[in-house]
Amino acid sequence: MKIFAAEFIKSCVSQEQFPPADLPEIAVVGRSNVGKSSLINSLLNRRDLAKVSRTPGKTRAVNLFLIATSDPGLSQFYLVDLPGYGFAKVSKSIRAQWGPMIEAYLIDRASLLGVVMLVESRVVTDQDRQTIAWLRSIGHTPLVVATKADKLKPSERVRTLRQTHVDLGLIEGEMLIPYSSVTGDGRDRVWGALRELAKT
Protein backbone atom coordinates (compact mmCIF):
# COMPACT_ATOMS: atom_id res chain seq x y z
CA MET A 1 0.00 0.00 0.00
CA LYS A 2 1.27 3.46 -0.90
CA ILE A 3 0.59 6.65 1.02
CA PHE A 4 -0.17 9.34 -1.54
CA ALA A 5 -0.65 12.21 0.92
CA ALA A 6 -0.60 12.93 4.64
CA GLU A 7 -1.59 16.42 5.69
CA PHE A 8 -2.28 18.12 8.99
CA ILE A 9 -5.74 19.68 8.70
CA LYS A 10 -6.61 21.35 11.99
CA SER A 11 -6.62 21.25 15.78
CA CYS A 12 -10.00 21.17 17.49
CA VAL A 13 -10.76 22.17 21.06
CA SER A 14 -14.54 21.70 20.83
CA GLN A 15 -16.98 19.48 18.98
CA GLU A 16 -18.15 22.41 16.89
CA GLN A 17 -14.71 22.61 15.27
CA PHE A 18 -14.73 19.03 13.94
CA PRO A 19 -15.06 18.72 10.16
CA PRO A 20 -18.22 17.23 8.62
CA ALA A 21 -18.42 13.49 9.28
CA ASP A 22 -18.15 12.59 5.60
CA LEU A 23 -14.90 10.60 5.70
CA PRO A 24 -13.92 7.60 7.84
CA GLU A 25 -11.89 8.41 10.96
CA ILE A 26 -9.47 6.35 13.04
CA ALA A 27 -8.61 7.71 16.48
CA VAL A 28 -5.29 7.24 18.27
CA VAL A 29 -5.44 7.25 22.07
CA GLY A 30 -2.97 6.58 24.88
CA ARG A 31 -1.47 8.02 28.00
CA SER A 32 0.76 11.06 27.91
CA ASN A 33 4.25 10.42 26.51
CA VAL A 34 3.45 6.93 25.23
CA GLY A 35 4.68 7.87 21.76
CA LYS A 36 1.53 8.75 19.80
CA SER A 37 3.17 11.46 17.68
CA SER A 38 6.20 9.27 16.97
CA LEU A 39 3.97 6.39 15.90
CA ILE A 40 1.89 8.62 13.61
CA ASN A 41 5.02 9.96 11.92
CA SER A 42 6.45 6.45 11.55
CA LEU A 43 3.18 4.97 10.30
CA LEU A 44 2.87 7.67 7.64
CA ASN A 45 6.56 7.76 6.70
CA ARG A 46 6.79 11.42 7.67
CA ARG A 47 9.47 12.95 9.85
CA ASP A 48 7.62 15.73 11.65
CA LEU A 49 3.99 15.69 10.55
CA ALA A 50 2.90 15.18 14.16
CA LYS A 51 4.96 17.27 16.55
CA VAL A 52 7.01 15.20 19.00
CA SER A 53 7.83 16.53 22.45
CA ARG A 54 9.57 15.17 25.52
CA THR A 55 7.03 17.05 27.64
CA PRO A 56 4.01 14.90 28.57
CA GLY A 57 0.72 16.45 27.53
CA LYS A 58 2.08 18.35 24.53
CA THR A 59 -0.96 17.40 22.45
CA ARG A 60 -3.59 19.73 23.89
CA ALA A 61 -6.29 19.43 21.24
CA VAL A 62 -7.81 16.90 18.88
CA ASN A 63 -5.48 16.96 15.87
CA LEU A 64 -6.76 15.75 12.50
CA PHE A 65 -4.58 14.45 9.68
CA LEU A 66 -6.03 13.77 6.23
CA ILE A 67 -4.54 10.63 4.71
CA ALA A 68 -4.80 9.35 1.12
CA THR A 69 -3.61 5.85 0.23
CA SER A 70 -3.67 3.36 -2.64
CA ASP A 71 -5.89 0.99 -0.66
CA PRO A 72 -9.53 1.06 -1.89
CA GLY A 73 -10.84 0.49 1.63
CA LEU A 74 -8.83 3.36 3.10
CA SER A 75 -8.39 5.57 0.06
CA GLN A 76 -9.04 8.71 2.10
CA PHE A 77 -9.57 9.03 5.84
CA TYR A 78 -8.76 11.12 8.90
CA LEU A 79 -6.22 9.93 11.45
CA VAL A 80 -7.23 11.63 14.69
CA ASP A 81 -4.66 12.24 17.44
CA LEU A 82 -6.36 12.64 20.81
CA PRO A 83 -4.77 14.29 23.87
CA GLY A 84 -2.97 11.87 26.16
CA TYR A 85 -4.47 10.87 29.47
CA GLY A 86 -2.59 10.67 32.73
CA PHE A 87 0.20 13.01 33.82
CA ALA A 88 0.40 16.17 31.75
CA LYS A 89 2.03 19.52 32.47
CA VAL A 90 -1.04 21.58 31.68
CA SER A 91 -3.53 23.47 33.78
CA LYS A 92 -6.42 21.76 35.59
CA SER A 93 -8.87 23.70 33.45
CA ILE A 94 -7.41 22.25 30.25
CA ARG A 95 -7.44 18.73 31.69
CA ALA A 96 -11.07 19.24 32.73
CA GLN A 97 -11.97 20.15 29.13
CA TRP A 98 -10.25 17.12 27.62
CA GLY A 99 -12.43 14.51 29.32
CA PRO A 100 -15.88 15.63 28.11
CA MET A 101 -14.64 16.49 24.60
CA ILE A 102 -12.84 13.17 24.09
CA GLU A 103 -15.70 11.19 25.61
CA ALA A 104 -18.23 12.88 23.35
CA TYR A 105 -16.04 12.32 20.30
CA LEU A 106 -15.51 8.61 20.96
CA ILE A 107 -19.17 7.97 21.79
CA ASP A 108 -21.02 10.17 19.30
CA ARG A 109 -18.80 10.55 16.23
CA ALA A 110 -20.68 8.79 13.43
CA SER A 111 -17.66 8.56 11.10
CA LEU A 112 -15.35 6.93 13.67
CA LEU A 113 -14.29 3.52 12.32
CA GLY A 114 -12.26 2.45 15.32
CA VAL A 115 -9.67 3.23 17.94
CA VAL A 116 -5.94 2.50 18.04
CA MET A 117 -4.84 2.43 21.66
CA LEU A 118 -1.17 2.82 22.48
CA VAL A 119 0.47 1.37 25.57
CA GLU A 120 4.15 1.21 26.43
CA SER A 121 5.54 -2.27 25.89
CA ARG A 122 7.31 -2.30 29.28
CA VAL A 123 4.80 -0.41 31.45
CA VAL A 124 1.08 -1.06 31.92
CA THR A 125 -0.90 1.33 34.13
CA ASP A 126 -4.30 1.17 35.80
CA GLN A 127 -5.39 3.95 33.44
CA ASP A 128 -4.51 1.76 30.46
CA ARG A 129 -6.68 -1.06 31.80
CA GLN A 130 -9.52 1.31 32.65
CA THR A 131 -9.38 2.91 29.20
CA ILE A 132 -9.60 -0.46 27.45
CA ALA A 133 -12.56 -1.45 29.63
CA TRP A 134 -14.28 1.86 28.94
CA LEU A 135 -13.72 1.63 25.19
CA ARG A 136 -15.28 -1.82 25.20
CA SER A 137 -18.25 -0.49 27.19
CA ILE A 138 -19.02 2.11 24.49
CA GLY A 139 -18.73 -0.39 21.65
CA HIS A 140 -15.09 -0.06 20.55
CA THR A 141 -12.75 -3.05 20.50
CA PRO A 142 -9.42 -1.20 20.45
CA LEU A 143 -6.47 -2.19 18.31
CA VAL A 144 -3.79 -2.20 21.00
CA VAL A 145 -0.25 -1.26 19.94
CA ALA A 146 2.70 -1.66 22.31
CA THR A 147 5.14 1.17 21.59
CA LYS A 148 8.90 1.39 22.15
CA ALA A 149 9.31 -2.29 21.35
CA ASP A 150 12.91 -1.65 20.26
CA LYS A 151 13.79 -1.14 23.93
CA LEU A 152 13.00 -4.79 24.64
CA LYS A 153 15.91 -7.21 24.47
CA PRO A 154 15.30 -10.12 22.08
CA SER A 155 15.52 -12.53 25.02
CA GLU A 156 12.69 -10.76 26.89
CA ARG A 157 10.46 -9.71 24.03
CA VAL A 158 8.05 -12.67 23.85
CA ARG A 159 7.74 -13.00 27.63
CA THR A 160 7.21 -9.25 28.17
CA LEU A 161 4.60 -8.91 25.44
CA ARG A 162 2.74 -11.99 26.68
CA GLN A 163 2.67 -10.48 30.18
CA THR A 164 1.52 -7.13 28.76
CA HIS A 165 -1.37 -8.92 27.05
CA VAL A 166 -2.35 -10.45 30.40
CA ASP A 167 -1.84 -7.25 32.39
CA LEU A 168 -4.11 -5.31 30.03
CA GLY A 169 -6.87 -7.87 30.44
CA LEU A 170 -7.04 -8.46 26.69
CA ILE A 171 -9.33 -11.25 25.64
CA GLU A 172 -9.13 -13.75 22.83
CA GLY A 173 -9.32 -11.99 19.48
CA GLU A 174 -7.94 -8.69 20.78
CA MET A 175 -4.55 -8.08 19.20
CA LEU A 176 -1.44 -6.62 20.78
CA ILE A 177 0.99 -5.43 18.11
CA PRO A 178 4.54 -4.53 19.18
CA TYR A 179 5.73 -1.38 17.42
CA SER A 180 8.97 0.55 17.16
CA SER A 181 8.94 4.06 15.73
CA VAL A 182 12.74 3.80 15.55
CA THR A 183 12.97 0.68 13.39
CA GLY A 184 9.46 0.60 11.87
CA ASP A 185 8.89 -2.88 13.28
CA GLY A 186 5.14 -3.52 13.41
CA ARG A 187 4.24 -0.96 10.76
CA ASP A 188 2.93 -3.47 8.21
CA ARG A 189 0.91 -5.30 10.88
CA VAL A 190 -0.75 -2.07 12.02
CA TRP A 191 -1.66 -1.10 8.46
CA GLY A 192 -3.02 -4.60 7.87
CA ALA A 193 -5.19 -4.31 10.98
CA LEU A 194 -6.45 -0.90 9.86
CA ARG A 195 -7.39 -2.28 6.45
CA GLU A 196 -9.33 -5.08 8.15
CA LEU A 197 -11.02 -2.50 10.35
CA ALA A 198 -12.17 -0.58 7.27
CA LYS A 199 -13.91 -3.70 5.95
CA THR A 200 -16.15 -4.08 9.01
Tell me the CATH number at 31.
3.40.50.300
Per residue in 97-143, pLDDT (tens digit) is 567 778 888 988 999 999 999 999 888 888 899 888 889 998 998 99
The sign of the dihedral angle between the CA atoms of 164, 168, 169, 170 is negative
DSSP 3-state of 153? coil
pTM more than 0.85: yes
Number of domains in the chain: 1
Domain ranges, residue 82: 3-199
Q: Are 61 and 83 in contact (CB under 8 A)?
A: yes
